[in-house]
Structure 1
């Protein structure tokens, strides 16, 4: 049964001017139950699976990864896909509502997720293991509003990886949004039908997105930090990742201004006397 949209399910940004809210902790109040219940409509699981095909599966297998930590599990799309392809997955998220939904979704595939409610900034306090790979997908890293938080999270990811581990992290093409305005093919990521996801307000410190669902006219928002591609890559290098390759909408060769999303694949392996800088 579909959840009815009502006043009690509205997000509370704590004041009359939501664009003033630029705090990492905001996500905990944004992912209310009503929004979480609509999240799978936004993703469009079947269309998303077709659009990304086996990109992440292939990238992990090429690097010999078997044990994966999904730090932005959301409603479980990637955790479930990876388990179905033979990976050992631990599913973490900062939202207990998201984890509950992911667990529920996995049961429909006869899968029992191993879940952890964890804040990335203190990831290794709650996750006591080492992994071949960490994935941080769904534009989730943009929930971190301060550089200190971003550096701390990346350092936690780095510490949770084995020596030859790999981090796969994606983000919207905020360069294009900031420099030329918003446009989207809605082909690769948010593939749901009868759903509109567009920025309501953008400046150098905030991208406030509005999500409209036509089936019940519900509206939700997310406040996110507009990360530029090269800035994200620089932080990864400075934390210690040695080789970083960036794809545009799953393509190795691309025109930067035309992409909806970037996917960074950052390797921890120590590289000596090699030109590791890639697009």
Structure 2
């Protein structure tokens, strides 16, 4: 699909690695344990952690993203294993356990329903070692739904000449996430995807149901307090 072909080329410019995010991961995941980056995209954080000595692997559903991640790993001179795989088949992709996992980039809400989310959480828990840490990041959909917000801030990279416009539209129990990628004012690509706008209120019992404990919510990777009406993001840290 042309949209995702183009998105994979510009992904690292649209969503560049944040030192704040990287530091949150470093602060909460044991460097001496194996780590899995779920829905790793073009591998910015997989590679970023590996540069600090982490033994980290990445998985993503999109083969183009994995291709870009592998290319970047070679460019950066790091040895990172990337695999194409589905979060709902995590047990089929890896035969090993991990001391830490993270699933960021608002990836979890691409699943279709709460049953799929709980299945994914169960698979993640099963692949974690005892006391292993899981970190999840999604948009704070409680805020989106309460205030009927129609968009997120447009991402611009003037140096590269791109804009990434993000719009929301409610449809039954889903949100239509409409994105427009503008390239040098010459080309505009548009895509719609359905997201499941799960909130912190729904996620906590699902995490508890599959057996996670010590569940913490943050309003950002700066470790700020989660505020239902104010926080743009929802960051979850929990333990097996």
Mark yes or no: TM-score above 0.5: yes
1:7-22 residue pairs with structure 2 within 5 A? 9=2
Q: RMSD of the alignment, in Å? A: 2.2
User: Match for residue 216 of structure 2?
Assistant: 245
**Cα deviations by residue, 1:116-172 (Å, 9 ceiling, x for unpaired):** 222122211120001001111101000111222111111110100001111111110
2:76 partner SS: coil
| Partner Cα separation in structure 2 for residue 65 and residue 142 of structure 1 | 30
Distance 1:67 1:36, change over 3 A: same
Q: Does 1:258 align with 2:225?
A: no
**Aligned-partner SS, 2:59:** strand
Gaps of 5+ in 1: 1-7, 11-31, 269-279
CA distance in 2, matches of 1:147, 1:265: 19
Q: TM-score w.r.t. structure 1 length?
A: 0.76
Give the deviation of 1:231 after TM superposition.
Answer: 0.8
1:57 to 26, 33, 36: 26
Q: Distance in 1 between matches of 2:197 and 2:167?
A: 11
Matching residue within 85, 89, 104 for 1:122 = 89
1:119-268 equivalence runs, <5 A: 119-182=86-149, 184=152, 192=157, 194-203=162-171, 205-214=173-182, 215=184, 216-250=187-221, 251-268=223-240
CA distance in 1, matches of 2:32, 2:196: 30
After superposition, the Cα gap between the structure-2 partners of 1:52 and 1:185, relative to the gap in structure 1 and judged at 3 Å, is: farther
Cα deviation for residue 102 of structure 1 reads 1.0
Question: Counterpart of 2:18 in 1: which secondary structure?
Answer: helix
Alignment gaps of 5+ in structure 2? none
For the residue of structure 2 that corresponds to 1:175, the secondary structure is: helix
> CA offsets, 1:78-128, max 9 Å, x none?
101110111101111122121111111222211232022221222111200
Matches within 5 A, 1:2-41: 9=2, 32-41=4-13
In the superposition, the TM-score normalised over structure 2's length comes to: 0.87
Question: Once the 2 structures are TM-superposed, how far is the Cα of residue 254 of structure 1 from its aligned partner?
Answer: 4.0
Q: Number of residue pairs matched?
A: 232
Say if 1:52 and 1:191 are closer, same or farther in 2 by CA, change over 3 A. Answer: farther
Q: 1:146 & 1:197 partners in 2: Cα distance?
A: 25
